[in-house]
Amino acid sequence: MFKHNFIYTLKILGKNKVLIFWTFAFPIILGTFFFLAFSDIENNEKLDVFPIAIVENDNFNSRMGFKETFEVLSDDNNEDKLFDVSYVLEEDVALEMLENKDIVGYILVLDEPTVVVAKSGINETILQVTTDQILSHEKVLEDYIRKNGNSRLENFVKVMMDDYSYVLDNSNKNMSYTMVEYYTLIAMTCLYGGTLGLTALNQNLANMSQRGKRIEVSPSPKFKVVLSSILASFLISLIGLFLLFLFLVFLLKVDFGLFGGHVVLLAIVGNLAGLAIGVAIASCFKVKEGTKLGILLSVTMLGCFLAGMMGITMKYVVDKNVGWINMINPANLITDGFYSLYYYDTLTRYWWDLLGLLIFIGVMVIVSVLALRRNSYDSI
Amino acid sequence: MTVFKTFLKVLNKCKAPLILYTVILIFFGGFSLKTNEVNTSFNAYLPDVYINNLDENAKITENFMTYLKKVSNVVLLDEEDISDALFYRDINIAITIPEGFNRDFFLGRKPKLEIQCTGDYASSLVNIYIEKYMQVANTYRVLASSEEELLRLINGNLDLKTNVYLKTSLDTEAMSKATTYFNFTNYCILAGCIFGVCFSLFSFKQKNIDDRIRISKINYKKYLMQLFLSTFVFAFFLWLLYVLLGFVLVGKIMFTYHGLIYIVNLFLFTLCALSIAFFLNQVILNKDTINGIVNVIALGSSFLCGAFVPVQFLPDFVLKIARILPSYWFIHVNELTTSLEKINLITLKPIWQSMLVLSLFTCFFFLMSLYVKKRN
Q: In chain B, what are the domain boundaries?
A: 2-38+170-375, 48-158
In this predicted structure, what is the pLDDT of residue B32?
A: 61
User: How far apart are alpha carbons A378 and A359 in whole angstroms?
Assistant: 35
- The reply to whether A171 touches chain B by the CB within 8 Å rule is yes
Helix (H, G, I), strand (E, B) or coil at A161: coil
* Strand spans (E) along B241-369: none
Contact criterion met (CB < 8 Å) for B135 and A162: yes
Q: Give 10-residue mean pLDDT values along chain B (376 residues).
A: 82 79 74 54 86 87 92 91 92 94 88 92 91 90 85 91 83 84 92 90 85 84 87 94 91 90 96 94 85 88 89 90 95 92 86 96 94 84
Q: Choosing among B19, B163, B179, B311, which should be mutated to test the A contact, i.e. which has the most A CBs within 10 A?
A: B163
User: How far apart are alpha carbons B56 and B368 in whole angstroms?
Assistant: 75
Q: Please, are residues A88 and A54 in contact by the beta-carbon 8 Å criterion?
A: yes
B94: part of which helix (H) or strand (E)?
A: strand B93-97
In this predicted structure, what is the pLDDT of residue B40?
A: 58
**Assigned CATH topology for domain B48-158:** abc type-2 transporter like fold (3.40.1710)
Contact criterion met (CB < 8 Å) for A125 and B45: yes
Residues 56-95 in B contacting A (C-alpha not used; CB under 8 Å): 81, 83-90
Contact criterion met (CB < 8 Å) for A168 and B125: no
- The reply to whether A7 touches chain B by the CB within 8 Å rule is no
Cβ-nearest to B313 among A26, A40, A343: A40
Q: In a structure prediction context, what are the per-residue pLDDT tens digits for chain A, which is 380 residues long?
A: 778 888 988 898 888 888 888 889 999 999 999 999 888 888 877 778 999 999 999 888 888 888 888 998 999 888 888 999 999 999 999 999 998 889 999 999 988 899 999 888 888 999 999 999 999 988 888 888 888 777 777 777 777 777 788 999 999 888 898 899 999 999 999 999 999 999 888 888 888 888 888 887 888 887 888 889 899 999 999 999 999 999 999 999 998 887 889 999 999 999 999 999 999 999 888 888 878 888 888 888 889 888 988 778 889 988 988 889 989 999 999 999 999 999 998 999 999 999 999 999 999 999 998 888 777 777 76
User: How far apart are alpha carbons B314 and A36 in whole angstroms?
Assistant: 8
Long-range contacts of residues A288-292, Cβ cutoff 8 Å, at least 24 apart:
A289/A198, A289/A199, A289/A202, A289/A208, A292/A198, A292/A202
Mind listing the pLDDT tens digit for each residue in A132-185? Answer: 999 998 888 888 888 877 777 777 777 777 778 899 999 988 889 889 999 999
Residue numbers in A near B289 (CB within 8 A): 18, 21
Helix (H, G, I), strand (E, B) or coil at A196: helix
Closest chain A C-alpha to B222 CA, distance in angstroms: 35
Closest chain B C-alpha to A218 CA, distance in angstroms: 32
- The reply to whether A145 touches chain B by the CB within 8 Å rule is no
The pTM assigned to this predicted structure is 0.85
Q: Please, are residues B114 and B52 in contact by the beta-carbon 8 Å criterion?
A: no
Contact criterion met (CB < 8 Å) for A39 and B315: yes
In this predicted structure, what is the pLDDT of residue B366?
A: 92
Domains of chain A by start residue, with CATH: 2-39+176-372 (no CATH), 49-160 (3.40.190)
Residue numbers in A near B308 (CB within 8 A): 37
Residues 68-107 in A contacting B (C-alpha not used; CB under 8 Å): 95, 98-99, 101
